[in-house]
Chain A
Amino acid sequence: MNPHSFDPVAAVLLIPIGSAALLAMLPGYRLTARLNVVASLATFLSALLLFVIERPQPGPYVLVDDLNIVFIVLNTFVGFTTSIFSASYIAHELETGRLTPVYLRFYHAMYQTMMFGMNLAFVSNNIGLMWVAVEIATLTTVLMVGIYRTHAALEAAWKYFILGSVGIAFALFGTILVYMAARPVVGEGQDGMIWTALVEHSQAFDPALLNVAFIFLFLGYGTKVGLAPLHAWLPDAHAEGPTPISAVLSGLLLNVALYALLRFKILLAANPAAIAPGPLMVTMGLLSLVFAAFMLYRRRDIKRLFAYSSIEHMGIIVFAFGMGGPLANFAGLLHMVMHSLTKSAIFYAVGHISQIKGTQRISRIRGLTVSHPALGWGLVTGVVAIAGLPPLGIFMSEFLVVSSTFARQPLLAIVLVLGLLLAFGALTLRLTSVAFGEPRGSTKPAEASYVPMFAHLALVLMAGIYLPAPLVVWFQHVARLLG
């Protein structure tokens, strides 16, 4: 292929979908798991190329701008590390017979299809196409959540399916209303759905229609973000599916839905007569944070525990974007990235731990730092990071959210801090029992892949200590875009 005609945007989409087709046909676990890793790596490298090449002009379907490039790179990176983790995780599942080779073939094909859906959602410049892409990503995760076909897995998949479908229906209704609002201004047909055209003309749209549209979009995509009280699917889906899927659900799919919301938030912010989306987002964000913080105390299943922690962090992020302004937006973006990296690292550790112990019940896991030092300390670092302790990256973003809120809305900041402290308490409580003390359960040595976990944690630590100046400038620029 002529190197000049290489198009990274097309590669980010075509590599996953092409390899999905290939993986669906190839037998043999070793080959397909490796191919899955190679395809994910190739996608990641093409995503990195997006930084280098000249960006394509925003077309009717595809757009690459400063906002989505961060997410595409993050998405493909976590997709790549998860594929490494998945290879060693799945090997164990085959041994124990929880998955059969046929299902495995299906699993790998679905994994790449999901990556395709998420990348498509990020690069799409068309709100209809974005909706279809989010639907693809959701459907494939539903199938993977139910892949064990146990009683609990099917229940979780069914619940996810029904709630996700209702969410997606609301999001579509909102999308149609946006088109209705755009039609008198932008004109009939294609243009009424192109995001860049919509933003350009947004100030002339009928504000009332835009408001109603945003409410529907917020409820619809908010269901997928896992905001309380629309979160019911999230803990089950995380707990019952294979752990690599929990990692991408928390780390990536929630981000995709949030990204869709951010696009519409920008659209609304460009119209001065429309309602400010801020208060709505602040309320839902705080509600999710406080609710999830309380729920953390009652968890007995380790994957459910971290699923609720994802709801908590999504609450913080939505809150930050709801507050708006350069500083809070900066914090929100940073928090999204840090949460993705940390939460997926935690799920890598949890996946191996629950395989070794043969259980996900917190009460049956004890003294991990003694029996499995690498996994145990990895988990400790991850939980310390997710609880928001210095010097890790999440501390920094949470600190920025809290301090910017104190400067503007001290009352909200008190609730925010309360929620953060509650969650911190719950997580440390569980962590001490799981990580320290007399080991309980199986102490057989782990056949784990540590590289993905420690790579993520190292990145989070690095971000907490020192953020490179170009990255800061980049984030600040994007934060200003978000208004």
Chain B
Amino acid sequence: MQMHSLEFDISHALAGGLVLISFMMLYQDRLYSLLNVFALHALVLALSVAWQAFIQNAPHLYVTAAIALVFKAIVIPVALHRIIKQLGIHRDIESAVGIGPTMLAGMGLVALSMVLILRVTAEADPLAREDIAFALSVVLLGLLVMVTRRNAVSQVVGFMSLENGLVLAATGAKGMPLVVEISVAFSILIAFIVIGIFLFRIRERFDSVDVSALDDYRGERR
């Protein structure tokens, strides 16, 4: 067993924490609590990115960390809170799949990403490869949140946690260019979604933001 430095342990702990918080997202059955867990997710991401900026001596990554902290951990959850209140949908989330099977599927996905990434990157630098493995887990868990929820707001939260995984991967890949630009692009994308939910007045049009209500209408009824 090789010894790891403190730097390694801290970034490992933060990345692992993100995976755990992704799991917590899977079983939240209220929109408000889902948002709180997401804010925690973004906070841990900000810490992790800041830590990477520190150990890689890459000051531009502090910008990404600041975006994660201000935009994703504060602005977006607050905005979504208000939207939920205004749309009057702070009732239970209808999970499309039960919590038990979802958690099992989540464990399967994490195992899959560990096996896949750790096997193919046997020669890469250990910090980067474990970071990528955790990041892929977060991405896949975010995807799982998106497919198990039917509510538009919780799908967006799932997408944002997926994107947190991507930022984790990008910052873990030492010296990757354009990381800041990409995280800004993603923030714009997310702002678009949130504004979209609000401006398109999904409630007004569909009576709820329940995507299954959208499914009722299809261009061609059979």
Contacts and interface: CB of A to CB of B under 8 A. Distances in A.
Contacts of B47: none
A208 B124 CA distance: 11
Given A158-B152, A173-B169, 4 more contacts: A155-B214, A176-B166, A192-B177, A300-B220
A169 B128 contact: no
B108 interface: no
Interface residues of B, number: 47
Interface in B190-222: 192-193, 196, 200, 202, 205-206, 211, 214, 217-220, 222
Contacts, number: 121
Interface stretch (B11-19, B94-102, B155-163): B155-163
Interface stretch (B28-36, B37-45, B85-93, B115-123): B115-123
A304 B117 contact: no
A221 interface: no
A146 B170 contact: no
A190 interface: yes
Interface of B: 116-117, 119-124, 128, 132, 135-136, 139, 143, 146, 152, 155, 159, 162-163, 166, 169-170, 173-178, 181-182, 185, 189, 192-193, 196, 200, 202, 205-206, 211, 214, 217-220, 222
Nearest to B178: A128
A445 B143 CA distance: 50
Contacts of B123: 206
A26 interface: no
Contact of B220 (A158, A209, A211, A301): A301
Given A139-B192, A146-B200, A151-B217, A132 B176 contact: no
A172 B178 contact: no
Given A128-B177, A176-B170, A212-B117, A166 B146 contact: yes
A208 B120 contact: yes
A50 B170 CA distance: 35
Most buried by A among B177, B202, B206: B177
Contacts of A209: 120-121, 124
A152 interface: yes
A129 B189 contact: no
Nearest to B202: A154
Interface residues of A, number: 50
A172 B174 contact: no
18 contacts: A126-B178, A128-B177, A128-B182, A139-B189, A146-B196, A158-B211, A166-B159, A169-B159, A173-B169, A188-B175, A190-B177, A206-B124, A208-B120, A208-B122, A235-B219, A239-B219, A240-B219, A298-B222
A188 B174 contact: yes
Given A176-B170, A179-B176, A158 B214 contact: yes
Dominant SS at the B interface? helix
Interface string A178-210: 011001100011101100000000000010110
B139 to A, nearest CB: 6
A151 B139 contact: no
Given A166-B146, A180-B128, A135 B117 contact: no
A169 B193 CA distance: 15
A169 B163 CA distance: 7
A151 B177 contact: no
Contacts of B214: 154-155, 158-159
A306 B159 CA distance: 31
A260 to B, nearest CB: 16
Interface residues of chain A: helix, strand, loop or mixed (majority): helix
Contacts of A149: 200, 205
Nearest to B152: A158
Contacts of B192: 139
Contacts of A189: 175, 177
A90 interface: no
Select the residue from B170, B189, B192 with max chain A CB neighbours within 10 A: B189
A167 to B, nearest CB: 11
A158 B182 CA distance: 22
CB-CB nearest 7 A-B residue pairs? A188-B175, A208-B120, A128-B178, A155-B214, A300-B220, A176-B169, A190-B177
